[in-house]
Every structure is written in structure tokens, then in C-alpha cells.
Amino acid sequence: MSTPKNAAAKAQSSTIFRTLARIGFVVLGVVHIVIGAIAISVATGGGGEADQGGAMEALQQNPLGFALLWIIAVGLFALGVWQVAEAFLERDSDAKKKWGYRAKYIGTAAAYFAIGGTALVFALGGQSDSSESTKTLSATVLAAPGGVFLLVLVGLGVAAVGVAFIVRGITQAFKKNLDLPGDKREKGILTFGTVGYVAKGVAVAVTGILFVVAAVTHDPEAAGGLDAALHSLAQLPFGSVILWVVGAGLAIYGLFCFTRARYAKM
């Protein structure tokens, strides 16, 4: 009789499925490069929403955009399913670590599914405003009993994820998930990973802080997701420079995702 664990093992043994998952890393890189480019545009006085929705809208306007959006959706759904399979197949002997890893895999899968779902909406000709969705979610949570406390928890959780990205980048903990080539390319890959993880961590951490601000001020408009987080960086002293650096870092994270497609342990 088939079990979820057997199904996960069978999926991961499929060459086609593994290839689709690696394509997922490539398209994830494309999305981050576009978001980084939009952030740099905002830093230099341009416009656009520097988040997943803004990236998909930019791609939708490209002559080959609809085909690319379908590839992004399929690739990220495959990568998400791969993460779910990893959760089922986690075998760490320490029970706490095992369930911690499983939670990380499921959380990562959820993020991939969310971005893939946004790509699918745009591929079908629709529209999706990530900032407005985040504000609506914040308003719904605030309206619930204990909503302020819940939204603070959400914000702290998101901020913790951002800090984890920063730590992962600084310590280069991501190395353990890569089969590095062991030559001069390795230094460049690790540098891209460090810069990319730190930049993404900063953006995610600020997003979490904005959730906390929205809870404390009872103003769901303060929580606008990644786009609001990046725009808030622009309001800081030397904000344009900070936003430009973070945008460039997100683009570098995108390039690092390309190397993950080649060197990720799968």
C-alpha cells in the first residue's frame, strides 16, 4: 500500500520531477532579479511595486511574458512539492531537529506555492496586488479577538525569518545544501549566496517590523508586504542608497538561485 513517505521517495527518484524542481530554482532567480530591478528603479526615482505581484506584472507586459509566467508557475509548484517530499523523508535522529526541519520545509513550500500561484494568476490574464492582499489580511487579523496580539506574533515570526536569512548568509550555512564544484567558482558562488541571503533577510525582517507597527498603531495600511518594506527603507537617512544596495542584493540572490539550480543537493 502506498504511503505519503513512499510517494515522496518515488517522486524524488523521478528524473523529470527533479529537473522541474531545478527549473524552479531558475525561475525563482528570475523573480528575484525582477524585484531587485524594480527596487533599484524606485531608489533612483522610478515607480513600480517591488514585490512578487509587481514582478509578475512586469513579466506579463513582456512579449514572451505569458509563456515565462507559465514556466514560473510550473517550476515553483514543482519546487514546492519537492520541499513537501523533503519534509516526509526527513530522517534526523533528534526528534526536535527533525520536526524543526519539517516545519522549515513546509514553510518554504508554502512560500513557493504562493509565488507560483501569483504567477498562475497573471499567466491566466488576471491581476494580483500583493500589497493590498497583505493589508486585507492585516485588517482581518486586527478585527479578530486578540487581533493585535496575533498580528504582533505574525510580525515577529516574519522578522525572525528575515533574521534567519541574514544569519544563514553571514555564516554561509547554505553551503550544506550545495554540491559545490571545489574550484575557483566556489568562492563566487559563496559570495553571491552571502550577499543575497543578507539582502533578502533585511527585506523580510523589515516586512515583519511593519506588521508589528500595523498592530501597535491599529493601522493595517502600515503592513504592505515586501513592497512597503522596501519603500520604507527609502524613507531612512541615505534611504535611496540603502534601497539601491538591497535591490542589488535581491538581484544577486536571484543569480545565486541560478547556481542552486545546478549545485543544489537533490
Helix/strand number for the chain, H first, E second: 10, 0
Residue 32 has phi, psi (to 5 degrees) of: -70, -35
The one-character DSSP state at 238 is T
* Cell numbers placing 122: 497573471
Q: Give the per-residue pLDDT at 136.
A: 81
Residue 1, pLDDT > 50, answer no
How far is 112 from 119, CA to CA, in rounded Å?
11
Residue 261 has phi, psi (to 5 degrees) of: -60, -30
Domain ranges of the chain: 4-263
Kindly state the average pLDDT of the residues 93-115.
83
Element of type H or E holding 5: helix 4-12
The pTM assigned to this predicted structure is: 0.87
* Cell numbers placing 193: 549566496
* Cell numbers placing 195: 550577499
171 vs 49, residue with greater confidence: 171
* Cell numbers placing 48: 513600480
pLDDT band, very low/low/confident/very high, at 2 (cuts 50, 70, 90): low
Q: What is the pLDDT of residues 107-123, one digit of tens each?
A: 888 989 988 988 998 88
Contact 98, 22 (CB under 8 A): no
Where is average pLDDT lowest: 30-34, 70-74, 91-95, 187-191?
91-95
Q: Which amino acid is at 189?
A: I
Contact 180, 263 (CB under 8 A): yes
